[in-house]
Amino acid sequence: MGRCCFYAAGTLSLLLLVTSVTLLVARVFQKAVDRTIEKNIVLRNGSETFDSWKKPPLPVYTQFYLFNVTNPEEILRGEIPLLEEVGPYTYREIRNKADIQFGENGTTISAVSNKAYVFVRDQSVGDPKIDLIRTLNIPAVAAMEWAQQRFLREIIQALLKAYQQKFFVTHTVDSLLWGYKDELLSLIHTFRPEIPPYFGLYYGKNATNDGDYVFLTGEDNYLNFSKIVEWNGKTSLDWWTTDKCNMINGTDGDSFHPLITKDEVLYVFPSDFCRSLYITFSDFESVQGLPAFRYTVPEEILANTSDNAGFCIPPGNCLGSGVLNVSVCKNGAPIILSFPHFYQADERFVSAIEGMHPNKEHHQTFVDINPLTGVILRAAKRFQINVYVEKIDDFIETGNIRTMVFPVMYVNESVLIDKETASRLKSVINTTLIITNIPYIVMALGVLFGLVFTWLACRGQRFEDEGTADERASLIRT
């Protein structure tokens, strides 16, 4: 009986160890899990993935920080602007996909991304309908920029004088964000219909969408999950000077494909940036007990390099690192985008404005993604809206102002997975961990039976030694 147990333990140990090594080398269970995830995370009508894509369950909050001008007269005399950050004014962002239509073969899906903003008073510093902000008169600055032709310049000069337009104006936060009817724009609208008579930093963005999208469903390849192939009927942009810069790459930033590796470069197309961006792995994170890869926007995205030369408008006119001239997609208004407080920008942009304090913690854009499922666990999209200003001899309103990129407002759009969703996701991840760790469990059993085999071998040897000793003692007595 003992000898049978001895051989059984040894054989079983060997079989288990060989099996576990084979399973590990062949990645049998890992491949099974990967195939299951690839099959399930597809935009297929009626699936949980589709429902989450159509109506994202995670709460998104948008915080607006405006820069109040405290020394307007001194600025027009050529002194450094002194700005005071006022905010946040927080809004709950309601998102959903609408007008959804699947392509014939199920590999594409078209939709619009609706957004609506609801004010959250207890997360804000004040009432946007009451609080006043002094800032640039952006419609007037834009009109001066449009006045390239002589006859148009004379008309705008006359309008600025007739309406006593100043370089700085004061409005409520609500008006600056969502729009007010501007006298100057109303008149310009009559001969330039594409220019709306209203102005607001987020005018036309509440309870609306940013255009028609065509996405890939991931049916043919999981790496294509939710990738954009068309926006407003175009497969590429036409604002920039090179084909590479005009490419529409990646997702809309609301979702990513599953099975992400830290060596991957992920692409996103935020339409408000008028271009595609990429994000790269930065660090390992844990969010609500869930593992995450932190991806950030690298400094090279807005660097003044040859790769970004196509974003310089007109060609060769590059403002410097850390800023992006998007006037080409803003009706010619001199709008410049950057990260908040000119984070990652040239020092000269920071030193030109009193009140800029860039730091990584508050001004970096990042996204924490669960690598197994591609689900966003936490994210912060942060950018700043600026206006390019300079002294224009034909317009006395500009005074002796310095040439600079003038901050107006920055936005922090953030999301954090809630505990209930995190708990459900954790259950899925734990299940996959158990399945993928089966080879190690088999190996552990192999080691256990190997120890039993060793113990039985040692025990058998001891009994044999004791028996030999007794026999020798008997012979000596004889």
CA distances for 8 relative to 60, 141, 190, 453, 454, angstroms: 60, 88, 94, 8, 12
Per-residue model confidence (pLDDT) at position 475:
47
d(CA 145, CA 153): 9
CA-based radius of gyration for the chain: 32
Which run of H or of E encompasses 175? helix 173-178
Count CB-CB contacts under 10 A for residue 277: 18
Question: Smallest Cα–Cα separation from 279: which of 260, 306, 305, 304?
Answer: 260
- Rounded to an integer, what is the distance from CA 345 to the centroid of its chain? 19
Per-residue model confidence (pLDDT) at position 302:
95
Question: Smallest Cα–Cα separation from 91: which of 115, 66, 63?
Answer: 63
Per-residue model confidence (pLDDT) at position 162:
81
Q: What is the dihedral of CA 130, 134, 138, 139, to 10 degrees?
A: 60
Is the dihedral angle over the CA atoms 340, 344, 347, 349 positive or is it negative?
negative
Per-residue model confidence (pLDDT) at position 444:
58
Per-residue model confidence (pLDDT) at position 259:
92
pLDDT tens by residue, the chain, 478 residues: 555 665 565 566 566 556 556 645 655 556 565 677 778 889 999 898 999 999 998 899 999 999 999 999 999 999 999 999 999 999 999 999 999 999 988 899 999 999 999 999 999 999 999 999 999 999 999 999 888 766 677 788 888 888 788 999 999 999 999 999 999 999 888 888 888 999 999 999 999 999 999 999 999 999 999 999 999 999 999 999 999 999 999 999 999 999 999 999 999 999 999 999 999 999 999 999 999 999 999 999 999 998 999 999 888 888 999 999 999 999 889 999 999 999 999 999 999 999 999 999 999 999 999 999 999 999 999 999 999 999 998 899 999 999 999 999 999 999 999 999 999 888 877 777 666 655 566 555 655 655 655 665 666 555 555 555 455 555 445 5
Per-residue model confidence (pLDDT) at position 33:
59
Per-residue model confidence (pLDDT) at position 152:
75
**Residue 323 token pair:** 């800023």
